[in-house]
Each structure stands twice: as structure tokens, then as C-alpha cells.
């Protein structure tokens, strides 16, 4: 579905359950492009200005120094700069490394041989959730705001779905290329080949997005991927150990990184009521209800399906590391999760970590009575039980305000 | 009547010998579900508390005439298990397993639809028709039999809303969780059309959440095709926006997917949307009393 205004299109949110995906850096995506036979410029990764200098020296001639951060808008933020000599590459890397781009600190730069550009195109294949099919998009109007192109001249952006059972056929690439108006035959041929390889990369890596923006044509007529946005489905990483290793753990929020290490699903928010639920839907609803009764949630923390005592201890460790948290609300509806295990986890965490935050606990479902009894019989003065989700939320909000 | 699972259901559990499969398979039997077989390759000839185990789904179907399969095998093998169940002639498959790759689901979705097979899930709590049959992990003790059809993308949030209904003295025809993954076998629209045709169901609660556009599609379907009243709840009004790389995602989905967009789409068609699970149950109670 194409939204109607460019403003709407510029939204960068990806609403939904916690995005279970792995976003790759440009240099990693290009490594994968190369593996699948998509032409890219030669380059080197550098984490220090000295390394950038050595990289430029090895590559020879004019190079581009590019910040490697998992966010868009690098160019506008000054994170992409041209250097004529190795000394200049070192100087540009000094400027770029450590720079903050939309909340991301630059820790690596990609130094690559500069390209002369005659034309810039845009090519992507992405998972279209609504149609339940992969979708190719291609336009010759690259190098500008592509979402603006999609909004203002939708005909210029050629779209084509691929049937996941039938797979890709070369006619689809020809359709994209001819309909978008690529004129030069050698160019047509190269892009058709790249489209086929991009589909192979998309399926072969279990990607949810492979985007080349821009896909450039050099004055000599050579077509090449000048950038890459590559996102992989987390659920498929069990069959891609090499891709799983590409995850940049340093790029995440420290609390979120700790949570991932502990296997806890956690997103930091900016309030003071720590929220912990079981299951994404109930946890989302709990965050909503805390807000609805006038509170400000400090996090979204989903214990998930299992939720044994250790899982609760780990979750509490993550939540209480946030200095803004003033009270904690456990909202558990046992199904697979057993409420007595949750109660044991809470008591274990109190004993191990000496948590002093008031903890409001609401338990229902599997073994709820046993869980409530365990909490009642403990002498933890900071644990409060409530009978309903709404009352639990109110109590936690009151306690946060005290 | 109820939908999906009832007294006619004969269930084969793929993965019955695993700890989760065993726990929930037996729990389903305790609720009255006819659990007629289990399948674990290499364990054919054994039994789980009297339920015979077969090496293949085909053998289980040949011996027991199972008509419904529940998939409880680990994610790397779940897609294969679903294809095996179809080949054996199973017409309704409920996949509980979480973590099936989205590319697998794209292929399975296309394959199932081309063959008219009903798939619930994956990453779902299953379906419960109180007093008749329970296929999945929904705790049956918190629900009672009645006239309200309940369909949800979530597991625990389904229990929450069902519990609120029970507190108000209401019961359910069938409770079904279609699953929280981006691609699932059955949509809200699929379930709404079953409820519309079901003689036991008189009111319907649809529990949605942010992401995708299935609630928006359901809103249009309700207006155009349904005579029974529907109340909705949407989770995720205050959920943090995720980051997304590149432009393709924004171009494809536009503004669809936010809780507000879903609420607006529903309310524009006269469908009431509860602010909290409690208020949602109260809206249903109003319908029942009306």
C-alpha cells in the first residue's frame, strides 16, 4: 500500500512486536553482495585513523571514508567524506570516528575506492507483509529522496511481487528494467543479472530487506552497488551461523545488550515504572494500561513463553539497572508460564540482589494460587500483590510517585 | 457448534514425546479432546499414557483417522512437520512452535492457500472450544462455554481478555489465537468469517496489536460482510517505535500498522474499540445484555 504523503512515508518506525531482525552494516552487506556476485567497489574496514590511512594507501587514488552505523542519514550528518591521499583519509577518519550520528557513535569506517558516477538508480527487494510476498522495487530516479519519488511519481518506481513458491524468473528483472526505462543495452544486461543475484542473496540469507541505494552507473557504463542495507530474519539465524556472528553487539543500548546476553526481551522507555509481563501482547497491553492510569513505563520487558525462576531473576537484573525505575509491575497470566515459578524467581532475585524497589505483582492462570501463597508467606515487605491488571497498574504508578 | 475444534476433532500431536508436547497434549486430552496419536520419528510403537506414537503422520492417520494436527516440534523442523501433515491428508493444522523463519512461512502460506488447508499459527496458543475440545496451550480452566467468539494475535493477552469476560459471567464459543508472527496461516478475516457462519457464536471480540494491516483488512470485512457485532481491542498504543533500515519498508507499509491507525480504521466503520482489556470485556457485556 502506498501512503499518500511524503511525510507519512518518511516515518522510520517499524511498529510491531520487537523487531526480531539483524541489521547489517554497509560493509557486511557488501561482503554478502560480493559473495553472491553483485559488483561493489573494493574497500577496507578501519577502526582507527592509522588503519584508514593504510587502507587508502593500499587502495591507491581517491577514496571515500564512510561511517559504519546502523542508521540512515550518514551523508547529511557528515559521516561520508572523500579523500585524495592517504593523509587526507587519515584526517577524514579522525573526524568521522567517534562522531555521533542520530544517537549512534561511529566506531568503524569503511574506506573504499571512489567511483565516478554517471547515473544513480535504486533497487531493493523486501518482505511485503501485507501481500505475504517478496517485493522488488526499482527506479532510475535514484540519488534523491526515494520515498519522495514513491509518493510524487509512483509510476517511476516499478514494483513487482515474486511468488514465493514459483521463485524468481529472469523475465521479472527484464520487466523491472524496461518498465523503468533503462536505455543502454549493456546496462540493461548488467542490471538484469544484478536483480537475479539480489534475489538469490535475499532468499539465500533469509533476508527481509536487501536495498541498493544508489545502484550507480559509471561513465564507462559499469553498474555497481555503492551502498547496502541488509536485514536478516533472526528466526533463520540457526541456519546462518556466519551471519549470526555479524551482529554488532556494541551498537545496541547497553541495557538492551545486557538483556540480549541474558536472553531477556527488553526495550528501554523513558518513564519510571518498570513493566514486566509474559508474552508480547500482554506486555504491550500492560505498558498501555500503565500509561492509561497516568504512569510512565520505564521499559517493555517480556518474559516470553517459558519464564522459569532464573528468567525472572535475569529480567529483574536488567530492569533494576535502569536508574530511573522507581517501582516495578509484574503482570503475569500463566499459560505455559507457571505463576509459582515466577514467584520463586522474584523471591530469589530479592535474596540475591537485595532489590529495594516496591514490586507490585499480579498473577493469574497456571498455578496462580501457589504463586500468590509463596509471595504472601515470604516476609518481603516491598512485594505487593494485586488481584487485577488495572489495580496492579494503579498501585505501581502510585508507588513510583512516592 | 463452535469453530475449528470440537467434539469431532481427532488430534495427532507432532512432537508428543517432547516435554512441552507431552504436557500440553495430555492437558488437551484432560479437557476432553480426542488425542488419538502422537508422531515422533524413530519412536513408533511406543505410547504416551496410552496415546500411540507413530513414526510418520501418514501412519498415524491410517491407523487412527486423525483429522487435525498440532505441531510441537522445534522451529528448524516445524515447516517440514507442517508439509508432512498436509501430505497425510490432515485438513486443520495448529502450529504452536515459535521462531519459524519468515521465508519458510511465505512458502507455506502460499502452499496452504493453494490447497485449501487451514493452518493456525505458528507462534500461537491454538484454539479452544470450551467443553468440546482444546488444541494448544490455552489454559481451559479460565474460560467457560458461551456465545462470544474470541480471536487474537496474542497468547497471554487472549487469556487476559477471556478472564475478564469470565469475571463478567460471559462464556466463549471458541477462543483462537492466530499467532503473532508477521506471516501466519490464518488471518483475522479468515476467523471472522468462520464465526459469522457459526451458529453458537453471537458476538465477537477481536484482539489486535500493532504491526501489519490485518486489523485494517478486518475492519473492511466486518463492515461489508458481517451481521454479528464485533468489539475490538488493540495493544501497543505506547509501544516504542522500532528502527528500520533503508526506505523499502516505509514505502511498502506507509502509516499502516500503528495502534492509532488500526483504531481509526475500526472506529470509522462503527466498530467499538476498548481502551483496556477490562473496558473491552465491558463493551462485550453491553452487547450481550442488549
Distance CA B23, CA B72 (A): 11
Which residue in B24, B103, B113, B247 is the catalytic one?
B247
- A291 contacts in chain B (CB < 8 Å): 237-238
Q: Which three cell numbers stand for residue B168?
A: 463478567
pLDDT of B268 higher than 90 = yes
Q: Are residues B141 and B192 in the same domain?
A: yes
Q: Choose the final residue of a domain: A86, A113, A140.
A: A113
Please give the mean pLDDT across all residues of chain B: 93
Q: Is the pLDDT confidence value at A75 over 50?
A: yes
- Same domain? For B159 and B272 the reply is yes
Residue B221 distance to chain A (closest CA, Å) = 15
If asked whether residues B137 and B267 sit together in one domain, one would say yes
Q: Are residues B150 and B223 in the same domain?
A: yes
Q: Is residue B5 part of a domain?
A: no
Looking at the structure, do residues A71 and A86 belong to the same domain, yes or no? yes
For A100, counting Cβ atoms within 10 Å of its Cβ (0-12 exposed, 13-18 middle, 19+ buried), the class is exposed
Interface of A with B in 175-214 (CB under 8 A): 203, 206, 208-209, 211, 213
Contacts of residues A257-263 at CB distance under 8 Å and 24 or more positions apart, as own/partner, are A258/A317, A258/A318, A258/A321, A259/A301, A259/A318, A262/A314, A262/A315, A262/A317, A262/A318, A263/A311, A263/A314
Of A281, A364, A389, the CB nearest to B154: A281
In a shared domain, residues A276 and A191: no
- Give the domain extent around A48: 42-113
Alpha carbon distance B9, B135 (integer Å) = 9
State how far the alpha carbon of A212 is from the alpha carbons of A118, A127, A146, A225, A261, in Å: 16, 15, 11, 6, 32
In a domain, A2, yes or no: no
Mean pLDDT of all residues belonging to chain A: 90
B257–A364: do the CB atoms touch at under 8 Å? no
> Do A235 and A313 belong together in one domain?
no
What are φ and ψ of residue A35, in 5° steps?
-60, -35
Domain boundary among A214, A244, A274: A244
B153, B157, B250: residue with CB nearest A10: B250
Answer yes or no: is B1 within a domain: no
B163 and B255 assigned to the same domain:
yes
**CATH code for the domain of A109:** 3.30.1490.20
Same domain, yes or no: B41 and B166: no
Name every residue whose Cβ is closer than 8 Å to that of residue A23 and which is 6 or more positions away in sequence. A70, A230, A231, B243, B245
A147·B250 Cβ contact <8 A: yes
Task: Note whether residue A237 is domain-resident.
Answer: yes
Same domain, A275 and A397: yes
Look at residue B257 and tell me whether its pLDDT is greater than 90: no
* DSSP 3-state of A395: helix
Rounded to an integer, the average pLDDT of A190-199 is 98
Among the candidates B68, B93, B120, a domain finishes at B120
Same domain (yes/no): A93, A124: no
Domain of residue B64 covers 10-120
- Give the residue-averaged pLDDT of A325-350: 91
Tell me, yes or no, whether B40 lies in a domain: yes
pLDDT for A6: 28
Say yes or no: A109 and A121 in one domain: no
- Active-site residue list of A: 122, 211
Does position A314 have pLDDT exceeding 60, yes or no? yes
pLDDT at A10: 28
pLDDT band, very low/low/confident/very high, at A268 (cuts 50, 70, 90): confident
Q: Is the pLDDT of residue A13 over 60?
A: no
Res A34: pLDDT: 97
Last residue in a domain, options B87, B120, B153: B120
A66, A86, A113 - which closes a domain:
A113
Place of cell 539480489: A198
pLDDT digits (tens, 9 = 90+) for B83-92: 999 999 999 9
Residues 355-374 of A with CB under 8 A from B: 364-366
Within a domain: residue A364?
yes
Residues B82, B184, single domain; the answer is: no
Surface of A (332-351) touching B: CB under 8 A: 333-337
**Closest alpha carbon within chain B to A4:** B254
Pair (A97, A84) in one structural domain: yes
- Amino acid B265: pLDDT: 95
**Is residue A328 in a domain?**
yes
B176 located within any domain: yes
Residues B282 and B186 reside in one and the same domain: yes
For residues B96 and B137, is the Cβ–Cβ distance under 8 A? yes
Residues A125 and A103 in one domain: no
Contacts of B125 in chain A (CB under 8 A): 335
What is the SS3 string spanning B147-196?
A: EEEEEECCCHHHHHHHHHHHHCCCCEEEEEECCCCCCCCCCHHHHHHHHH
Residue with cell 517432547: B18
Note whether B145 and B56 are same-domain residues: no
Quick one: angle between helices B57-64 and B75-87, nearest 10? 40
CB contact under 8 A, A235 and B240: no
Tell me the shortest Cα–Cα distance from B240 to chain A, in angstroms: 7
Q: Under an 8 A CB cutoff, do B160 and A206 touch? A: no
Q: What CATH number should be reported for the domain holding residue B163? A: 3.40.50.261
Q: Do A106 and A78 fall into the same domain?
A: yes
The rounded distance, in Å, linking the Cα atoms of B170 and B155 is 19
Pick from B141, B176, B169, B30: nearest CA to A368: B141
Do A57 and A85 form a contact (C-beta atoms < 8 A)? no
Which of A6, A126, A129 would best serve as a mutation to test chain B binding (most B beta carbons within 10 A)?
Answer: A129
Q: Are residues A376 and A260 in the same domain?
A: yes
Residue A270's pLDDT band (boundaries 50, 70, 90)?
Answer: confident
DSSP state of A368: H
Q: What are the start-end ranges of the H helices in A245-326?
A: 254-262, 280-292, 309-320
pLDDT grade for B256, boundaries at 50, 70 and 90 = low
Q: Are B206 and B157 in the same domain?
A: yes
Domain total for chain B? Answer: 2
Shortest Cα distance, chain A CAs vs residue B227, angstroms = 26
Could you report the per-residue pLDDT of B147-192, keeping only the tens digit for each?
A: 999 999 988 899 999 999 999 999 999 999 999 899 999 999 999 9
Residue where one domain finishes, among candidates B120, B139, B156: B120
A7 assigned to some structural domain? no
Whether residue B93 sits in one domain with residue B151: no
Whether A211 sits inside 8 A of B246 (CB atoms) is yes
Decide if A10 is inside a domain: no
Q: Number of residue pairs across A and B with CB atoms under 8 Å?
A: 251
Is B109 assigned a catalytic role? no
Indicate if B55 and B154 belong to the same structural domain. no
Check: CB of residue A134 under 8 Å from CB of residue A128: yes
Shortest alpha-carbon distance between residue B63 and chain A (Å): 31
Beta strand A299-302 with A265-268 is antiparallel
| Whether pLDDT at B255 is above 80 | no
Lowest mean pLDDT, pick from A43-47, A85-89, A191-195, A363-367: A363-367
Task: Report d(CA A60, CA A84) in Å as an integer.
Answer: 9
Contact B106 A164 (CB under 8 A): yes
pLDDT surpassing 50 at residue A15: no
What whole-number percentage of chain B has pLDDT above 70? 97
A8 touches chain B (CB under 8 A): yes
Contact B276 A147 (CB under 8 A): no
Q: Tens of pLDDT along B113-129?
A: 888 899 999 999 999 99
Neighbours of A347 (CB within 10 A): 19
Q: Note whether A273 and A353 are same-domain residues.
A: yes
Instruction: Let me know if residue B131 belongs to a domain.
Output: yes
Average pLDDT over residues A282-296: 94
Q: For residue range A222-236, what is the model confidence (pLDDT) as tens digits?
A: 999 999 999 999 999
**Given an 8 Å threshold on Cβ–Cβ distance, is A292 in contact with B277?**
no
Angle, helices A49-59 vs A86-96, to 10°: value is 140
Q: What confidence category does residue B240 fall into, taking pLDDT thresholds of 50, 70 and 90? A: low
Q: In A, which residues are within 8 Å of B239 by CB distance?
A: 15, 284, 287-288, 300
Q: Three-state DSSP class for B280?
A: helix
Contact between A80 and A66 (Cβ < 8 Å): yes
CB–CB contact B157 A336 (8 Å):
no
Residue in B with minimal Cα distance to A21? B244
Overall number of domains in chain A: 3
Residue A165 and residue A205 in one domain: yes
pLDDT single digits (tens) B186-236: 999 999 999 999 999 999 999 999 888 999 999 999 999 999 999 999 998
Q: What is the ipTM of this complex?
A: 0.92
Q: Tell me the whole-structure pTM to 2 decimals.
A: 0.91
Give me the DSSP letters along B13-24: EETTTSHHHHHH
Q: Do A134 and B246 touch (CB under 8 A)?
A: no
Amino acid at each position: 500500500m502506498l501512503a499518500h504523503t511524503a511525510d507519512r512515508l518518511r516515518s522510520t518506525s517499524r511498529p510491531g512486536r520487537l523487531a526480531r531482525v539483524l541489521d547489517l552494516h554497509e560493509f557486511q552487506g557488501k561482503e554478502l553482495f560480493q559473495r553472491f556476485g553483485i559488483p561493489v567497489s573494493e574497500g577496507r574496514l578501519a577502526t582507527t585513523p592509522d588503519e584508514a590511512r593504510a587502507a587508502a594507501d593500499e587502495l591507491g587514488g581517491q577514496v571515500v571514508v564512510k561511517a559504519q552505523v546502523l542508521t540512515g542519514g550518514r551523508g547529511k550528518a557528515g559521516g561520508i567524506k572523500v579523500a585524495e591521499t592517504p593523509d587526507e583519509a587519515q584526517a577524514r577518519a579522525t573526524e568521522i570516528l567517534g562522531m555521533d550520528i542520530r544517537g549512534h557513535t561511529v566506531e568503524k569506517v569503511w574506506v573504499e575506492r571512489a567511483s565516478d558516477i554517471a547515473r544513480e538508480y535504486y533497487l531493493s527487494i523486501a518482505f511485503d507483509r501485507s501481500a505475504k510476498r517478496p517485493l522488488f522495487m526499482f527506479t532510475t530516479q535514484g540519488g534523491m529522496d526515494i520515498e519522495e519519488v514513491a509518493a510524487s511519481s509512483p509510476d517511476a518506481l516499478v514494483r513487482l511481487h515474486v511468488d514465493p513458491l514459483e521463485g524468481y524468473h529472469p523475465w521479472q528483472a527484464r520487466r523491472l528494467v524496461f518498465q523503468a526505462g533503462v536505455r543502454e543495452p549493456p546496462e540493461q544486461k548488467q542490471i538484469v543479472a544484478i536483480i537475479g543475484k539480489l534475489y538469490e542473496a535475499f532468499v539465500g540469507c533469509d533476508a527481509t530487506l536487501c536495498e541498493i541505494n544508489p545502484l550507480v552507473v559509471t561513465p564507462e557504463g559499469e553498474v555497481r552497488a555503492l551502498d547496502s542495507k541488509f536485514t536478516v530474519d533472526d528466526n533463520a539465524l540457526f541456519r546462518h551461523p556466519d551471519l549470526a556472528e555479524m551482529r554488532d553487539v556494541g551498537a545496541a543500548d547497553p541495557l538492551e545488550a545486557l538483556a540480549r546476553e541474558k536472553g531477556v526481551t527488553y526495550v528501554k522507555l523513558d518513564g519510571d515504572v518498570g513493566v514486566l509481563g509474559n508474552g508480547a501482547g500482554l506486555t504491550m497491553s500492560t505498558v498501555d494500561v500503565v500509561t492509561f492510569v497516568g504512569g510512565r513505563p520505564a521499559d517493555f520487558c517480556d518474559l516470553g513463553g517459558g519464564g522459569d525462576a532464573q528468567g525472572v531473576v535475569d529480567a529483574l537484573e536488567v530492569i533494576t539497572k535502569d536508574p530511573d525505575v522507581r517501582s516495578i509491575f509484574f503482570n503475569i497470566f500463566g499459560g505455559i508460564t507457571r505463576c509459582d515459578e515466577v514467584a520463586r524467581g522474584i523471591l530469589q532475585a530479592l535474596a540475591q540482589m537485595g532489590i529495594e524497589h516496591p514490586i507490585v505483582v499480579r498473577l493469574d492462570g497456571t498455578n496462580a494460587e501457589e504463586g500468590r501463597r509463596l509471595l504472601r508467606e515470604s516476609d518481603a515487605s516491598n512485594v505487593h500483590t494485586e488481584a487485577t491488571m488495572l489495580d496492579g497498574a494503579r498501585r505501581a504508578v502510585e508507588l513510583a510517585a512516592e | 457448534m463452535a469453530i475449528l475444534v470440537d467434539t469431532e476433532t481427532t488430534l495427532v500431536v507432532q512432537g508428543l514425546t517432547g516435554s512441552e508436547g507431552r504436557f500440553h497434549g495430555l492437558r488437551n486430552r484432560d479437557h476432553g479432546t480426542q488425542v488419538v496419536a502422537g508422531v515422533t520419528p524413530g519412536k513408533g510403537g511406543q505410547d504416551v499414557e496410552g496415546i500411540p506414537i507413530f513414526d510418520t503422520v501418514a501412519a498415524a492417520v491410517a491407523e487412527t483417522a486423525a483429522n487435525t494436527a498440532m505441531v510441537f516440534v522445534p522451529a528448524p523442523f516445524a515447516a517440514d512437520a507442517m508439509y508432512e501433515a498436509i501430505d497425510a491428508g490432515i485438513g486443520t493444522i495448529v502450529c504452536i512452535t515459535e521462531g519459524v523463519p519468515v521465508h519458510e512461512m511465505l512458502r507455506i502460506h502460499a502452499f496452504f492457500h493453494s490447497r485449501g488447508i487451514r493452518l493456525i499459527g505458528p507462534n500461537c496458543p491454538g484454539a479452544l472450544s470450551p467443553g468440546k475440545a482444546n488444541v494448544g496451550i490455552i489454559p481451559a480452566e479460565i474460560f467457560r462455554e458461551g456465545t462470544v467468539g474470541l480471536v487474537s494475535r496474542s497468547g497471554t493477552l487472549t487469556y487476559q481478555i477471556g478472564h475478564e469476560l469470565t469475571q463478567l459471567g460471559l462464556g466463549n464459543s471458541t477462543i483462537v489465537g492466530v499467532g503473532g508472527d508477521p506471516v501466519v496461516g490464518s488471518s483475522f478475516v479468515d476467523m471472522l468469517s468462520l464465526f459469522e457462519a457459526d451458529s453458537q457464536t453471537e458476538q465477537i471480540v477481536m484482539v489486535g496489536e500493532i504491526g501489519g494491516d490485518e486489523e485494517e483488512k478486518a475492519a473492511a470485512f466486518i463492515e461489508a460482510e458481517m451481521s454479528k457485532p464485533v468489539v475490538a481491542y488493540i495493544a501497543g498504543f505506547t509501544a516504542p517505535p522500532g528502527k528500520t533500515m533503508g526506505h523499502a519498508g516505509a514505502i511498502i507499509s506507509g502509516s499502516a500498522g500503528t495502534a492509532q491507525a488500526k483504531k481509526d480504521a475500526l472506529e470509522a466503520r462503527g466498530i467499538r474499540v476498548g481502551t483496556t482489556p477490562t473496558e473491552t470485556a465491558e463493551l462485550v457485556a453491553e452487547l450481550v445484555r442488549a
